[in-house]
Copies of this chain bind each other. A is one copy, B any other.
Amino acid sequence: MLMNSKLCLLRCANNCMLLDCSPVFRRQQFLIRSLGGGGGIDHHTNYSSGKMQSVEVDAENIIRAITPALDSSRHKGQAGNIAVIGGCREYTGAPYFAAISALKIGADLSHVFCTKDAAHVIKSYSPELIVHPVLEESYNVREEDKKMISSKVLAEVDKWIERFNCLVIGPGLGRDPFLLDCVSEIMRHARQSNIPIVIDGDGLFLVTNNLDLVSGYALAVLTPNVNEYKRLVQKVLSSEVNDEDATQQVLSLAKQIGGVTILKKGKSDIINDGDTVKSVSIYGSPRRCGGQGDILSGSVAVFLSWARQHIEAAGPDSNLSCKNPTVLGSIAGSAMMRKAASLAFSNKKRSTVTGDIIECLGKSLEDICPASS
């Protein structure tokens, strides 16, 4: 009887047109979970309706599986060394939010590579970050010096790049053409070294106009919001966003870019790598204060690094059905962001700001995955 109800509900869910937005679907999913749906650690993409549908994933189990055990014999850096490429004359908050979130999730070291104008300010937000004032914007560079300065920027980043477990490219990057040219080169170097890249904000502006930077790179995660997603769809699929067949469209998009992972932010976050489509719908917060995307990108970077370590260590013994670290990291980052936002909102209500959410990352992770052994 229970099984029948479950199957019936799954069918209803699969027939639902506006999958992610529908309160009916959310309620159905709750019932499915209550009925023990899935059985495994995470659920699978459901193709039975003819259209592909994303299926809510058990993100908390994924977080528990990939988060490394803490152990006194470990050394600095083993729990993650993350770098954010972003921060210019105009923006300083975004790279700070991304970088400090990485530390609060549990990374050991968090760097920011930004312009000189931004560096003093970002440094002053927190002594916990290592901030490198190495990027340059056009207004500060003469035409004849561009080549030399570009090489210098690259050399400064290259000193460090092999040490990083993941780069976050885009928070507060701005759109200065010279700066974006340098960042394109940094991305090429990261790719040569097989370093995962999470791309958000102005980083998405850059790759939308230069798809070769990520095309075919399985260690890239794109985290577009509604507008950034719209531009990507227009550019890559030469069409408009299709909300009625959202899952199929995001799948086509990831396939078309050669198997990158796309974390499409929305009421539910849809995560796909051109193969599987998952959703994370844990209730977050109705506040939409700026900066939450930066928390997400920093969090995804850490979880992606941990997922990669987990998969390398566990190999076929991993009890996760999904073995793609960029998908696992995206799911975990999405869930963590939502849990922390919910906790912050319960404390601060309408006055919740991004810093409040960051302060809740530790407690949210601890609730899911206690650190003490």
Contacts and interface: CB of A to CB of B under 8 A. Distances in A.
A129 interface: yes
Interface stretch (A207-215, A307-315, A343-351): A343-351
A193 interface: no
A239 B284 CA distance: 56
A223 interface: no
Query: Which label, helix, strand, loop or mixed, suits the secondary structure of the A interface?
Result: loop
Contact of A371 (B78, B267, B349): B349
B291 A91 contact: no
A36 interface: no
Contacts of A365: 349-351
Interface in A205-243: 225-226
A203 interface: no
A74 interface: yes
B128 A93 contact: yes
A77 interface: yes
A71 B286 contact: yes
Interface in A96-138: 96-97, 103-109, 120-121, 123-133
A119 to B, nearest CB: 8
Contacts of A287: 70, 79, 106, 108
A72 interface: yes
Contacts of A90: 130-133
Interface string A335-365: 0000000000100111111110000011101
A93 B127 contact: yes
Contacts of A371: 286, 345, 349-350
A142 interface: no
A62 to B, nearest CB: 16
